[in-house]
Amino acid sequence: MFKKVFPLSMILSLRFLGLFLVLPVLSIYALTLEGATPLLVGVIVGGYALTQALFQVPFGTLSDKIGRKPTILFGLIIFLIGSIIAAYATDVYTLMIGRFLQGAGAIGSVVTAMISDLVEEEIRAKAMAIMGGTIALSFALAMGLGPVIGAAYGVDSLFLITAVLAFIAMILLFTKVPTPPRIKHIYHDTSKTSDIIKDPNLLNMIIINAMQKGLMTVAFVLIPIILTSDTFGWDKSELYKAYLPAMILGLLAMGPAAIFGEKKNKPREIFLLSIVLFIASFFIMGLTDSDTVFVIGVVCFFIGFNMMEPLVQSMISKFAKVHQKGAALGISNSAAYFATFIGGTLAGLSLDLSDRESIGITVGVISILWLIYTIIKLKNPTKYSHLFLDEESVNMDKLHALENEHIAEWYINETEKKVVVKYVASAIDTLELENKILN
């Protein structure tokens, strides 16, 4: 499993590493460019997310039709071009174009869907934890290295590093990533957005994903600007003192959260705890006059973010049927990136119109409303088992006639010649199920 998942995780992590490297210092850097305003700076910080939102669904759907690898390669090429344009930008609008192109290479949902293709659902939690762990490591490295490299060599160098990382990801794609199996499912229609939105489980996860990513951008607009303002007077080269401990502690919290959420089938409890930490973080960052306490608020935010991150993708892939994975992940990530863009834009606008205290209280109250919604609406997922049978041993007429409220779906793995039935083991006897469909 590790050999299948790790190369794909590295591709996604290299891409995120490039994006994360600039985040700690991007808002400060963008303010120095010709034509910059706080509003435009907010757009730039979240700008990649707008095009991510626009292209997540097309990329996810395209990958379901033409294959994951070609789609990932296309996205990485666009990302590389955007990084180069951003590196040589001398005004705020050119930088904005570069950021928009970075986001247009929207491969996140494709990579996640490909991992779901390669890994059986029983061990998908571990696969998602590996992916989440590598992304979190990228986050931690970026928070420590971004401010230091940016201060020493300029923020433009960070964009050039990002372009190099994209090229390395392309090499990994064709040297280390296996080709996923061909899946034949029982559904005759293509995935419909309406079907995914109408599924209450998927809709709840879409909302959680969107809120998490939107608040992330708000934090990355506010944290560097506030710490380097007259209130605290930090130099931008000192920002790692806030980001690095926050990400280390967030990374340490992610493992136990993933284990409790997946193995104990209690993701709802982890999500609720994460939201509580978000609430605390924004109230602290908005109201304190101590830089030490402010850093505690930053730590609370990133612990909550990292606890939630691997579970979000895993839950979406579990709730979606096999033919919906690419589209469902695409819709979820599209909503998340749109929220990211809105979060960055509104944070930049708020800096123009309001003060730190009002912003912190407003975001904290919004997070409280999110907590109430999640308490009421979110349920832990049904725990399914999978029956794997050799295709030649299965009576296809019986399989097509198979109906039971405790059977979620069945499909055929054509590469491995296996029929896979997803069912509730506590409600259906496995031997009885086999006898219903075997020759």
What proportion of the chain, given as a percentage, has pLDDT over 70?
A: 92
Q: Average pLDDT, stretch 309-329?
A: 74
Separation between Cα atoms, residue 126 and residue 108, nearest integer Å:
18
Separation between Cα atoms, residue 242 and residue 296, nearest integer Å:
8
Residue 360 pLDDT grade (very low, low, confident, very high; cuts 50, 70, 90): very high
Residue 192 pLDDT grade (very low, low, confident, very high; cuts 50, 70, 90): low
Out of 121-130, 201-210, 320-329, 398-407, the most confident range is 201-210
> Measuring CA to CA, which residue among 180, 159, 144, 193 is closest to residue 320?
193
Q: Average pLDDT, stretch 173-177?
A: 89
Sign of the CA dihedral running 148, 152, 155, 160: negative
Residue 197 pLDDT grade (very low, low, confident, very high; cuts 50, 70, 90): confident
Q: φ and ψ at 186, to 5 degrees?
A: -85, 0
pLDDT exceeds cutoff 50 at 188: no
Q: Average pLDDT, stretch 221-239?
A: 87
Separation between Cα atoms, residue 107 and residue 104, nearest integer Å:
9
pLDDT exceeds cutoff 70 at 184: no
Copy the structure tokens of residue 351.
């800096």
Q: Work out whether strand 407-413 and strand 418-423 pair parallel, antiparallel, or are unpaired.
A: antiparallel
Comparing 124-128, 180-184, 219-223, 373-377, the range with the smallest average pLDDT is: 180-184
Separation between Cα atoms, residue 305 and residue 312, nearest integer Å:
11
Q: Average pLDDT, stretch 183-198?
A: 60
Measured from the Cβ of residue 368, the count of other Cβ atoms closer than 10 Å reads 15
Measured from the Cβ of residue 385, the count of other Cβ atoms closer than 10 Å reads 15
Q: What is the mean pLDDT of the chain?
A: 84
> Measuring CA to CA, which residue among 253, 339, 277, 344 is closest to residue 30?
344
Q: What is the pLDDT of residue 187?
A: 46
Copy the structure tokens of residue 376.
């009421």
pLDDT tens digits, one per residue of 140-168: 778 778 888 888 888 899 999 999 999 99
Side-by-side strand order, sheet with 385-390: 183-185, 407-413, 418-423, 385-390
pLDDT exceeds cutoff 80 at 313: no
Q: Is 108:335 a contact under the CB 8 Å cutoff? A: no
Separation between Cα atoms, residue 381 and residue 318, nearest integer Å:
8
pLDDT exceeds cutoff 70 at 15: yes
pLDDT tens digits, one per residue of 264-310: 888 999 999 999 999 999 999 999 999 999 999 999 998 999 888 87
Q: What is the pLDDT of residue 198?
A: 80
In this predicted model, which residue has the larger pLDDT, 161 or 412?
161
Is residue 136 within a helix (H) or strand (E), and if so which, with residue range? helix 124-153
Cβ-count burial of 401 within 10 angstroms (0-12 exposed, 13-18 middle, 19+ buried)? exposed
Sign of the CA dihedral running 246, 100, 226, 335: negative
Q: Is 309:132 a contact under the CB 8 Å cutoff? A: yes
Out of 214-218, 295-299, 335-339, 401-405, the most confident range is 295-299
Separation between Cα atoms, residue 185 and residue 90, nearest integer Å:
51
Q: Average pLDDT, stretch 332-347?
A: 86
pLDDT tens digits, one per residue of 68-95: 889 999 999 999 999 999 999 999 999 9
In this predicted model, which residue has the larger pLDDT, 125 or 229?
229
Domains identified in the chain and CATH numbers: 2-175+207-377 (1.20.1250.20), 385-437 (3.30.70)
pLDDT exceeds cutoff 90 at 136: no
In this predicted model, which residue has the larger pLDDT, 390 or 170?
170
DSSP for 13-60? HHHHHHHHHHHHHHHHHHHTSBT--HHHHHHHHHHHHHHHHHHHHHHH
pLDDT exceeds cutoff 90 at 47: no
3-state secondary structure of 379: coil
Q: What's the whole-model pTM score?
A: 0.76
3-state secondary structure of 394: strand
